[in-house]
Structure 1
Amino acid sequence: MLEKLWTMTRFLSDSVQKRFNLRIVFFITLLSFLSTLVYFYFIYNPIPTKPDLCRIWENDPNKSNTSLLWWQWACLIEKEIDKPYPYQCQNVKTVGNWYICWDKPYRPRKPCIVYSFGINFEFSFDDAMAERGCTVYSFDPSMGVTDHKHSSRVYFKNMGIGAKDVDDFIPNFDGYVQLTQRWKMRTLKSIRKMLGHENAVIDVLKIDIEIYEWPVVANFLQDEMFQHVRQFLVEWHIFPNEPNRAEFQQMYKSFTELEKVGMKYFYVDSGSRYHHYRYWNSQSDMCYVNTKFKLPSQ
């Protein structure tokens, strides 16, 4: 009797062990399958490049500019960027990590003023402009650094440029913002008033502010801020999930409005372009001179 009981116990134990082993094998197989999917979807081919929606749409015989989708407005923006330079600068100088046109009508004049928005601890442009005798105001609320004098001619402000004045702006998470922050933001009109520059020439206005340039430039146009700016440097961004898709028509309008107010670019550096339904990205550095520049009335 005891022997039969022992045999039955061993049989049950072996059955439980086999079922347990099968579960382990099933779990490992499932994990391997999911790992393979993740590898091929995100790692082996992290950025899909085909089909290129802009190229497909460009060759569409029924293409029109009415009732466009957000990505079609993005294609039109890139088409504008890729046009021949409307201004041919004869004396382009590398200044830090940007380019300045030193042609006589547009070159900075001492005592020159430079506004630089978006630093991320990279002051090469700001320092280089200071070495050329300009007073530079550097702005970046993402660094977590208080207002200070960076060097003899460079003044840092813990503040951002915005489309409206707010004290508790909450930015999106990205490569520069990985914790919840609250920023002080001011329009260019308010910043000029704060610094006593309402009747001053801004020789160079530079913004590299990670997708926020679109509403900010729209605000510049609305407030007529470009008329007393000699040169404008900007990095345009379109990220896979930003800006909001509903804003692209207004983005195109603001972009094309720049030339109407006299801003003509003399340098472009575009890259990271991907036009896929699953991954859309586009970035361009552009440098403009103001062909309708005028001195402020004193």
Structure 2
Amino acid sequence: MYTFIKFILYFSIYSFLGWVCETIYCSILERKFINRGFLNGPVCPVYGFGALLVIALLDKYRGDIFAIFLLGMIVTSVVEYITAVILETSFQTKLWDYSKHKFNIHGRVCLLNSTLFGLLSVLLIQVINVRITTLVNSVPKIINIVLACIIIAMFLSDFITTLIAMIKLNDKLNNLVDVLIELKSMNIKLKNLDDKEFENLIIGFKDEEESEYVIENLTKIYERYKKLNVRSMLQRRILKAFPNIEHTKYKEQFKNLKEIINNKIKNQNK
């Protein structure tokens, strides 16, 4: 049982350290602070799993820097690839895409990131893990148990709220797809999918004969469109954390949804 407690502590520590590295790296690239990570808290679980797997498989190679680097590249790349597949399958979204990077595999992993992960693996085995292990072992057992229980509760809560946010985001995408399909069935194509365009369209039909039915349908469609109004901080954070996020099925529609969300945010900040 206590081994499981330590596993939770190590996992949370490395998830936090991974979030720090990811946030610093992405913030430098974007030249602004990016709260990176799929979950809302300051953790990246994929780093936690990756670090523990690297330790379990490569700790025996401590001292052989080249072996740790090479094997670390392979192990972490496999973890990243599998994580990407799971996320794409579960939510039909690609949180990252390395297709524009040289030497990538299906856009899910690339040589540059794998090299960085290899270097981190060396640092983890040679320096960090020894100190983390000493730190955890120096804390009284009862405190470790209490910390692990708190961490489990926080992780579960964060995962559930994030899962709900992603489900609702997909619901909004499906709603947008339906709106576009209905507009297409009426031979209507809006130049800009926004409130002003809808309102002008409805006003324009009011001047035409036999337009009552069209106006009624347009009004219903417009009401559905307005439901895309984003009030969820969780959905906003996900889009900000992964600015290049794409939907695997509805790429253009999802791009439209992101634009709608960004416009809503800008209007609310005025």
Shorter-normalised TM range: under 0.3
- Structure number with the higher helix fraction is 2
**Whose strand fraction is larger, Structure 1's or Structure 2's?**
1
| Relative contact order, higher structure (CA 8 A, sep 6+) | 2
Structure possessing the higher radius of gyration over alpha carbons: 1
TM-score (norm 2): 0.22
